[in-house]
Amino acid sequence: MAIIVDNDTKLVVSGLTGREGRFHGLRNRAYGTNVVAGVTPGKGGQDVEGIPVFDTVAEAVKETGANTSLIFVPARFAPDAIYETVDAGIRTVICTTEHIPAHDMLRVYTYIRPKGVTMIGPNCPGVLSPGKANVGIIPAQVFREGNIGLVSRSGTLTYQIGHEVAQRGLGNSTIVGIGGDPIVGSSFIDILEKFEADVQTEYVVLVGEIGGDEEEKAAQWVAEHMSKPVFSYIAGFSAPPGKTMGHAGAIISGSSGTAQAKKEALEAVGIKVGTTPTEVAELVVAAAA
Sort strands 51-54 and 34-39 into parallel, antiparallel or unpaired.
parallel
Residues 52 and 188 in one domain: no
Q: What pLDDT sits at residue 48?
A: 98
Is there a single domain that holds both residue 255 and residue 157?
Answer: yes
Q: How confident is the model at residue 69 (pLDDT cuts 50, 70, 90)?
A: very high
Q: Are 163 and 285 in contact (CB under 8 A)?
A: no
Q: What is the chain's mean pLDDT, rounded? A: 92
Q: How far apart are the C-alpha atoms of 68 and 78, rounded to whole Å?
A: 16
137: in domain: no
> What pLDDT does 156 receive?
85
- Same domain for 153 and 93, yes or no, is no
Please give the backbone phi and psi of residue 253, each rounded to the nearest 5 degrees, phi first: -125, 110
Of the chain, the percentage scoring pLDDT greater than 90 comes to: 82
Co-location of 74 and 188 in the same domain: no
**Does residue 148 sit in the same domain as residue 107?**
no
Final residue of a structural domain among 123, 153, 182: 123
133 in any annotated domain = no
Q: Please report whether residue 166 resides in a domain.
A: yes
Same domain, 90 and 185: no
Asked if the model's pLDDT at residue 248 lies above 60, the reply is no
Nearest C-alpha neighbor of 264 from the set 227, 199, 191, 215: 215
Find the catalytic residue in 24, 99, 163, 247.
Answer: 247
Would residue 134 count as lying in a domain? no
The CATH number of whichever domain residue 253 belongs to comes to 3.40.50.261
Give the model's confidence band at 210: pLDDT under 50 very low, under 70 low, under 90 confident, else very high.
Answer: confident
Would you call 99 a catalytic residue per the annotation? no
In this prediction, residue 218 carries a pLDDT of 96
Same domain, 94 and 181: no
* Distance of alpha carbon 13 from alpha carbon 37, whole angstroms: 6
**Residue 192: inside a domain:** yes
Last residue of a domain, which of 123, 158, 188?
123
Q: What is the pTM of this model?
A: 0.93
Mean pLDDT value across residues 58-78: 98
The string of DSSP letters for 48-86 reads ETTEEEESSHHHHHHHH---EEEE---TTTHHHHHHHHH
Same domain for 103 and 14:
yes
| Residues 285, 162 share a domain | yes
Quick check: 252 pLDDT over 90?
A: no
Indicate if 106 and 155 belong to the same structural domain. Answer: no
Q: How many domains does the chain divide into?
A: 2
Domain membership of residue 210 as a residue range: 143-289
Task: Judge if 197 and 111 occupy the same domain.
Answer: no
pLDDT at 243 over 70: no
Residue 253 has pLDDT above 60, yes or no: no
**CATH number of 75's domain:** 3.40.50.720
Q: Are residues 70 and 150 in the same domain?
A: no
pLDDT at 250: 46
